[in-house]
Every structure is written in structure tokens, then in C-alpha cells.
Amino acid sequence: MRILIVYDSVYGNTEKIAFALREAVAGHDERLMRASELNLHDLEGADLVFFGTPTHGGRYTEEFKELLERLPEGSLSGLDAAVFDTSMPEEGQGFITKKVVKFFGHASPKLAEALEKKGARILAGETFMVQGKEGPVLPGETERAKAWAEEIVSKL
Ligand SMILES: Cc1cc2nc3c(=O)[nH]c(=O)nc-3n(C[C@H](O)[C@H](O)[C@H](O)COP(=O)(O)O)c2cc1C
């Protein structure tokens, strides 16, 4: 199976999850790349694409926004995709941050919606938690990410 993992990451946490996904699908024809590097021809022949972004103000990053702007309407037709984000838990944050996190939500549903508008079929969406703005990834989250990827791939 040809599997692509497309991600953005500022502090390295989403990248860490992306690496975990790659480990989980090792043995397939897998490839990892930054959202800013992705071109339409990279998606040719892909059986599954994971798209992963840090949550910024409840949304996907500028890099993803630029990627989505570059992708023509309908260009993802027939593509199976799964989306993930990294976010902060509400617990343990200061008063304002907690309110912001709660109010704006996570990036993956918005990324799923934007990719669906381009024609992709979204198979799954998930959020993985980081401790604070810069991380680290919370204990158990990379293992959860691997299990998540394995489950998606097993159903294809
Ligand atoms: C500008 C900015 C806005 C953020 N907004 C949110 C948010 O709305 N909700 C949230 O849970 N985390 C938010 N965060 C924290 C990110 O979730 C965290 O930085 C990210 O998961 C780390 O991933 P990375 O290391 O791959 O960049 C924000 C971080 C930055 C830098």
C-alpha cells in the first residue's frame, strides 16, 4: 500500500507523532513530507494520506492553509485520508489559555472539512495531546498514534 504522511510542526511534537505513524506503517511503501513540500503529483497512486497539523487558534496552521489554497477544486477526488492534530489539554492551563482551547476546539475537524471540500474521503480524525505550547507529547500519545494508524490501515 502507498501511504503518505503530510505534516506541519513548529516545535517538533506533530513531527514526533508523524514519525510514530511512519513506524506503525513500516513495511508499506510509506513516505513522510512537510505540508509546504507537497505537490499534487506526490499524491498520485496514494492509497492513504495522513494529514497532521498543530492546532493554532483552533485551526490548522498557515502552512496547511497555503497548501489547501494551492490544491485545485476536486484535486483530492477519490483520495482516502485521515487527519490528526496536536493540541493542549484544557486541564493544567492558565485561565485564559483554558478558555481559548475550550472555545476554539481542535484543528483536525476543520482540516477534515477543508480536505473533504477538495474531494478527499476522510476515514478518521484524531487529536494527540502535548503538555503545553512547546510540548512535549504527553506520555502514551505516540503509542496511541501508532495503534490509531494500524487500525486505519487494517480496514483498507
Ligand atoms: C500560535 C499558537 C496558537 C495555538 N493555539 C492553540 C489552540 O487553540 N488550542 C490548542 O489546544 N493548542 C494551541 N496551541 C498549542 C499547540 O497545540 C502546540 O503548540 C502544538 O500542538 C505543538 O505542536 P508542534 O510542536 O508540532 O508545533 C497553539 C500554539 C501556538 C504557537
Which atom of ligand 1 is nearest to 86's Cα? Answer: 21
ipTM of the assembly?
Answer: 0.99
pLDDT of 100 reads: 84
Q: Kindly report whether the peptide bond that precedes residue 72 is cis, defined as omega within 30 degrees of 0.
A: no
CA of 95 to the centre of ligand 1 (A): 16
CA of 138 to the centre of ligand 1 (A): 14
Which residue type sits at 71?
L
pLDDT tens-place string over residues 8-23: 999 999 999 999 999 9
pLDDT tens-place string over residues 133-147: 999 999 999 999 999
pLDDT of 76 reads: 96
Confidence of residue 25 (pLDDT cuts 50, 70, 90): very high
Ligand 1 pocket test target in 11, 16, 21, 56 with most atoms within 8 Å of CB:
56
Percent of the chain with pLDDT over 70: 100
| SS3 state of residue 91 | coil
10-14's contacts with Cβ under 8 Å and 24+ in sequence apart are 10/54, 10/61, 11/54, 11/133, 11/134, 11/135, 12/135, 13/54, 13/86, 13/130, 13/134, 13/135, 13/136, 13/137, 14/52, 14/53, 14/54, 14/85, 14/86
Indicate the pTM of the whole model: 0.97
Tell me the domains of the chain and their CATH numbers. Answer: 2-154 (3.40.50.360)
Check pocket membership of 88 for ligand 1, CB cut-off 6 A. yes
- The stretch 62-79 carries a mean pLDDT of 96
